[in-house]
Amino acid sequence: MDENKISSLKTQATNERSRILIVDDAPENLAILFNSLKDDYTVIAANNGSKALQLAMATPMPDLILLDIVMPDIDGYQVCTCLKESEETRSIPIIFLTALEEEESEVHGLSLGAVDFIRKPIRLTTLHLRVKLHLELIQFRRRLEEQNRQLIETARLRDIVDQITRHDLKGPLNGIINVPELLLEDCQLTDSQAALLRAVAQSGYNMLEMINRSLDIFKMENGTYDYRPEPVDILAVMRRMLVEVESMVNSKSLRVDLRVDNQLPRNGQKVMAMAERLFSYSMFSNLCKNAVEASPREDVLNIGFDEHTADVTISIDNGGEVPVEIREQFFDKFVTLGKKHGTGLGTYSARLIAKTQKGSIDLDTSVAGRTCIRVTLPSGNEVRD
C-alpha cells in the first residue's frame, strides 16, 4: 500500500470534521476502516444493522455511511431501505461495501438509493478517493441549499422592502403632483414657468406609476400577478406614448410613420385589445424609447397595427441592428450591449408584460440594417382564457 498516495488524497482540514459511520459485522474490517479514516474524519462504528440504524438516527447524524451488505441480523439492503424511508436520514449518502461479485447486487443497491459501491477486498487508496469525492459532493449540495435559502429570504425581504418603499414614497409624491397643479390654476405664470411645472407634475406621475407597478413586475416573474384585462384602445395608448418621446424623436430628426392595416389611421379610429392600460403603456414606452435610441439620425420609425380575428399585432420597426452577440438573449434579464446607461430590463419587462397579457413578443432582424419588434395581444373583440 502506498502510504504517500493515501496521504495525498486526504480531505483538507476544516473547522468541523466530517462524520462517517462504518458498518461491518467483521471486527477486522471495522478496525482497518477505522484506522484508515480516523486521522481525517470523525469515525463511528457499528457491527450490526440494528446498531447502524441507531447511530444513523442519533444526533449528530453521520455525513456519510460505509455499509456492509451481508450481515446476520439486518442486512445492508434492509438498513439502506429503512434510512431512505425516513425523512431525517434519507439524504445521508450510503456507499455499499461488499464481497458480492454479481452485477445484480450492485444494481439492487443503487436502486435502493446508495450512491456508490466498493468491492472487497478494499483498496484503501480507492476508499479515500470515493469518500473524499462524496463528501465534497455533500458540501457542494449544502452550499447550494444555503444559497437557495438565502435567495428565498432575499426575495421575501425584497417584497417587504418594496411594499414599504411604495407606501413611504407615495406621501412625498402627493406634493410633487398636487402643488404644480395648484400653482397652474391659481398663479399668473409665464409659458416657460407653466411648462416647467407641468414637467414636474408629469415626473411625479411617472414615478407614481413606477412605484405602483414595481411589485407587480415581481409578481409576474413568480406567476402570482392577478391579471385583470379590459378592452384597451392601444392605438390611443401608442399616441400618448409618442407624445412623451417627441423630444427624443425631434432631437434625432426622425419621422414617425404610424399605420393601421397599412393605412393612415382615421380620425377617431380605435384598435382594441384585451389588456391592462398602464402595463401596455409601460411596455410600448420601453420598446419605442429603445427604438428611438437605436435609430440613426433622419431615419424613419415605422409603427404598424395589424388587426386579426383573434389578436392584434403591433410592430415597431427602426433603423439600426441589434448586435449579433445578444440577439438570442435579447429579451433576457440584464442583457444589454453598447448602451452606456442600459440596464437590460426594458425588453425583459416588455416580454413579461406581453406574456402576462396572454400575448407574445418577438425580435425580427431579417431585414439588413433594421430591427423590428412585434407584439401580439388578444383582440378586444375576443377574451382568451
CATH pick for 230-378 out of 3.30.460.20, 3.40.50.300, 3.40.50.10680, 3.30.565.10:
3.30.565.10
Degrees (nearest 5) of the Cα angle 251, 282, 245?
15
Give the HSE-up count for residue 205: Cα atoms under 13 Å, Cβ half-sphere. Answer: 12
Above pLDDT 70, what percent of the chain? Answer: 85
Burial label, 355 (beta-carbon count in 10 A; 0-12, 13-18, 19+): middle
Instruction: Say what the pLDDT of residue 247 is.
Output: 86
For residue 24, pLDDT over 90 is answered with yes
Annotated domain spans of the chain: 3-122, 155-221, 230-378
Q: Which position has the grid cell 407574445?
A: 360
Nearest Cα to Cα of residue 119 among 94, 136, 102, 138: 102
Is the domain covering 3-122 a CATH 3.40.50.2300 domain?
yes
Instruction: Say what the pLDDT of residue 139 is.
Output: 87
Q: What mean pLDDT do residues 272-292 have?
A: 88
Question: How many other β-carbons are positioned within 10 Å of the β-carbon of residue 135?
Answer: 19
Highest mean pLDDT among 94-103, 133-142, 178-187, 252-261: 252-261
pTM comes to 0.48
Instruction: Say what the pLDDT of residue 213 is.
Output: 63
Any idea which of 61-65, 173-177, 239-243 has the lowest mean pLDDT? 173-177
Tell me the C-alpha distance between 4 and 26, whole Å.
27
Q: What mean pLDDT do residues 128-153 have?
A: 85
Above pLDDT 90, what percent of the chain? Answer: 40
For residue 127, pLDDT over 70 is answered with yes
160-173 pLDDT per residue, tens:
666 666 556 666 77
Give the HSE-up count for residue 222: Cα atoms under 13 Å, Cβ half-sphere. Answer: 11
Question: How many other β-carbons are positioned within 10 Å of the β-carbon of residue 221?
Answer: 15
Q: What mean pLDDT is reported for the chain?
A: 83
Q: What are phi and psi of 179, to 5 degrees?
A: -60, -45
